[in-house]
């Protein structure tokens, strides 16, 4: 009973964090929601036996990326009028992102490998899977994230030049 309760607690933490990222307008609260989501995701990795990914999630994303975002938000501070920076929910961007994700899922579905059974997988099995047949997908995800970061910086740079 308590094992099922723990899984549902992880699910609630992950979903609450994701909803907070989407629904909140203040950047610091969005960052806290992202932290909750990433912690829940690390908990799921540990739950399903991927200890290596759970520790990597904690160190790289929660410990590194979240601190980087925090540094960026605090260094940006306020806009030109002196107000604290807030973001707004753009339904058009949300629709385009969801549509693009769906198109990618449908287009890549036949090329993606079948999901391995991961329950009880050791660190060595996880590393062999990530550095073996899944390495091209792992690297592709890194390239996509890098392109998204460069595009975001280019858009911010253009807005500052105005």
pTM listed for this prediction: 0.54
Q: What tens digit of pLDDT does each residue of 36-66 get?
A: 999 999 988 888 888 888 888 888 888 888 8
Domain regions of the chain by residue span: 2-78+86-131
What is the spatial distance between Cα 46 and Cα 118, in angstroms, rounded to a whole number?
Answer: 11
Q: Identify whether the C-beta of residue 149 lies closer than 8 Å to the C-beta of residue 79.
A: no
Residues 6 or more apart in contact with residue 35 via CB below 8 angstroms: 17, 62, 66
Reduced to 3 DSSP states, what percent helix, strand and coil does the chain have, rounded to the nearest 5? 75, 0, 20
CATH of domain 2-78+86-131: 1.20.120.1200
Q: What tens digit of pLDDT does each residue of 103-148 get?
A: 877 877 776 555 445 555 677 777 777 777 777 777 787 777 777 7
What pLDDT was estimated at residue 13?
Answer: 92
């Amino acid at each position: 009973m308590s094992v099922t309760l723990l899984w549902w607690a992880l699910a609630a933490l992950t979903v609450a964090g994701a909803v907070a990222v989407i629904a909140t307008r203040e950047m610091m609260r969005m960052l806290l929601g992202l932290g909750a989501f990433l912690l829940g995701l690390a908990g799921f990795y540990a739950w399903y036996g991927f200890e290596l990914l759970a520790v990597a999630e904690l160190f790289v994303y929660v410990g590194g990326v979240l601190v980087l975002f925090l540094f960026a938000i605090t260094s940006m501070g306020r806009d030109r009028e002196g107000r604290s920076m807030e973001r707004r929910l753009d339904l058009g961007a949300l629709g385009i992102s969801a549509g693009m994700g769906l198109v990618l899922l449908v287009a890549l579905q036949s090329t993606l490998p079948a999901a391995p059974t991961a329950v009880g997988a050791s660190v060595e099995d996880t590393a062999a899977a990530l550095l073996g047949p899944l390495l091209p997908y792992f690297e592709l995800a890194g390239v996509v994230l890098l392109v998204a970061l460069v595009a975001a910086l280019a858009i911010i740079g253009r807005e500052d030049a105005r």
